[in-house]
Amino acid sequence: MGEYSSGVGHLSEKALDSQTLYQGRIIEVRKDTVLLENGTITTREVIHHPGGVGIVPLTDEGEVYMVRQFRYPYHTTLWEIPAGKLSEGEDPLSCGRRELLEETGCTAQEMLSLGCMYPSAGYVDEVIHLYLARGLSVESQSLDDDEFLDVESFPLDRLVQMVLSGEIRDAKTQIAVLKTKLLLDNQTK
């Protein structure tokens, strides 16, 4: 517990108490009692997640390997960049390399950081680290026992259109695809 601050003096909240409501395999749900800057005491419900990594695997031909998988909360399949959960104490870059190989069967000579993102800052503390993977070599896919997905490549420009049309709804994928497009466009100027 302690003070959480945005770095701006008065925009902070101090945690007074924290109660775990649920401890699952991946997430922990907490109810925190906090002191606001105006002296009011209120509660915050927080989902703790260990964080994750998302990778844009870009081929030399400008194609991106995407995975399509069923996402239970939405009861549908989604196109996403390869991604996965950080293990306890795992370095995000190592996780990215591991997930890239597991889900697509690819290794990368270069993993360029695209920064990180907060998928839903109002109630979850998850941080997703994004990478652009280049210099790909195809080896063999090694999915987890409970992981079922299809891999397909798309031209990067087609993915941008899929983001803009709403065909790609996953936030990490939208952000990573658009950041990749902007980064590459700025490199050619």
Measure the CA–CA gap between 26 and 54, rounded to whole angstroms: 17
Q: Give the percent of the chain with pLDDT over 90.
A: 84
Element (H, E) at 154: strand 150-155
132 Cβ neighbours under 8 A, 6+ residues apart: 55, 56, 58, 110, 111, 112, 114, 176, 180, 183
On average, the pLDDT of the chain sits at 92
Mean pLDDT of 112-137: 97
Structure confidence at residue 5 as a pLDDT band (50, 70, 90): very low
Pair of tokens at residue 148: 């079922």
| Tens-digit pLDDT profile for residues 172-189 | 999 999 999 999 999 887
What number of residues does the chain have?
Answer: 189
Q: Note the pLDDT of residue 6.
A: 44
Pair of tokens at residue 40: 């009011």
Structure confidence at residue 143 as a pLDDT band (50, 70, 90): low
Structure confidence at residue 155 as a pLDDT band (50, 70, 90): very high
Nearest alpha carbon to residue 84 among 71, 66, 70, 97: 97
**Spatial contact of 22 and 99, defined as CB atoms under 8 Å apart:** no
Q: Note the pLDDT of residue 141.
A: 67
Mean pLDDT of 30-54: 96
- pTM score, whole prediction: 0.90
The better pLDDT of the pair 155, 143 is held by 155
**Spatial contact of 153 and 74, defined as CB atoms under 8 Å apart:** no
Q: Note the pLDDT of residue 189.
A: 75
Q: In Å, how far are 91, 92, 110, 144 from 87, measured between CA atoms?
A: 8, 9, 22, 14
Q: Note the pLDDT of residue 88.
A: 87
